[in-house]
Amino acid sequence: MEERKKQVLNAIITDYIVNAEPVGSRAVAKKYDLGVSPATIRNEMSDLEEEGYIEQPHTSAGRVPSAKGYRYYVDNLMEREVLNPAQLMQVKEVLAAETSEIDEFMRSCCNMISALTNYTALAAIPEQSRSTLSNIQLVQVNAYQVLVIMLASTGIIRHKMIEVDAPITEDELSHIEQMLRQNLIGKEIKHISYELLRDLLADYHLRERMAKQALNMLEHLTNDEEHKIFTGGVMNMLSQPEFHDIEKLKNMFSLIEEEAKIEELLNSAGSDRLTVTIGGEMPVEGAKDCSMVVANYFVNGQKAGSIGVLGPTRLNYGRTVSLMEFIAEELSSALPDNNKNKK
């Protein structure tokens, strides 16, 4: 594409991102100082429209970027925004906070991201497929209730109360605990299967219901985590003029409430360091007039989880991309620390 056409496209998108209103040739000529008259710009715009980079809501309105236009912008024109030091510090602080609970950590990440971007933040809990069980503990509450606590190598802690039919003694419990520890600690969590547990418990002739419940519980622990989704700043959508329509809002919110869909969105981004998905590229019906920036973070070179930002297609890509790249990077280096000893 010729240089000047790029400049015009860039101007249109930059302006539209800020003002959310169709951009006319005069406005481009005035504000972006390309050294040519509006008429020339009009010609360029006419070409750009023919090629599908911009659209006209109606004759005699200005032009609006199309999905294709945004795509070209993100791939070729966009300049990353230099983040201001105060924001960088804020990110570092939040990530450095000693939150050994992954839930709380993810939640505060989401809140931070949404506060910094004014969009909606998405996060998927780090995948557990590679993590191992690092400890398991059974605590007797009373004769009928046992609290099971599980620690994963990623620092996740889960507990669950399970109930048994017949009273259980301390001795029995520590037996079971030892058995579980011997057989399960160090195992990859995704390898702890129903079958494995059943075999283990069968050997020990445990009471039927107890066994069932323990299995049930462990299954929950291993499965739940992979699918846990966090969001933040959902209400930020309200400030975006594109969602001033109640119907659109409803659609959006009901989408965000469906964890499965959010997960699909985050997963659709693959395992590159950073992915930008624009409008129609979205894999989920109902998100077609949104854009998304997803960053993956890595532990030991392996994808550990995803964080993302969801906003209108008129997203401030430059800023958001810079920010998410930075956060993902910081996250990659912060996360392993959570499981090792500090200092």
With contact defined as beta carbons under 8 Å apart, do 181 and 136 qualify?
Answer: yes
Binding residue for DNA, selected from 14, 62, 102, 234, defined by CB under 7 A: 62
153 binds DNA (CB under 7 A): no
Q: How far apart are CA 202 and CA 208, in angstroms?
A: 9
| Of 127, 122, 128, nearest in space to 257 by CA | 122
- Tell me how many residues contact DNA (CB under 7 A): 25
Q: Which residues lie near a copy of itself (CB under 8 A)?
A: 98, 100-101, 134-135, 137, 139, 141-145, 147, 149, 151, 155, 157, 159-161, 163, 165, 235, 238-239, 244, 246, 249-250, 253-254, 257, 341-343
| Of 231, 235, 19, nearest in space to 118 by CA | 235
Burial grade of 330 (CB within 10 A; 0-12, 13-18, 19 or more)? middle
Q: How far apart are CA 248 and CA 140, in angstroms?
A: 51
- For residue 113, the SS3 value is helix
| Residue 137 contact, options a copy of itself, DNA, none, Cβ 5-8 Å cut-off depending on partner type | a copy of itself
69 binds DNA (CB under 7 A): no
Stretch that binds DNA, among 29-37, 126-134, 185-193, 324-332 (CB under 7 A): 29-37
**How many distinct helices (H) and strands (E) make up the chain?**
12, 10
18 binds DNA (CB under 7 A): no
Angle at CA of residue 219, ends 102 and 200, nearest 5°? 120
| Residue 341 contact, options DNA, a copy of itself, none, Cβ 5-8 Å cut-off depending on partner type | a copy of itself
What's the min distance (Å) between Cβ of 183 and a copy of itself?
A: 19
Give just the sign of the alpha carbon dihedral 181, 182, 188, 190: negative
Residue with tokens 């009273």: 167
What's the min distance (Å) between Cβ of 94 and a copy of itself?
A: 18
| Of 161, 150, 154, nearest in space to 185 by CA | 150
Beta bridge partners of 322: none
What's the min distance (Å) between Cβ of 245 and DNA?
A: 13
51 binds DNA (CB under 7 A): no
* Closer by beta carbon to DNA, 46 or else 132: 46
63 binds DNA (CB under 7 A): yes
| Of 267, 291, 280, nearest in space to 125 by CA | 267
What's the min distance (Å) between Cβ of 8 and DNA?
A: 10
What's the min distance (Å) between Cβ of 159 and a copy of itself?
A: 6
H/E element, 303: strand 302-312
Binding residue for DNA, selected from 3, 60, 98, 342, defined by CB under 7 A: 60
| Residue 342 contact, options DNA, a copy of itself, none, Cβ 5-8 Å cut-off depending on partner type | a copy of itself
Q: Which residues bind DNA (CB under 7 A)?
A: 4, 22-27, 35-40, 42-43, 45-46, 49, 56, 58-63
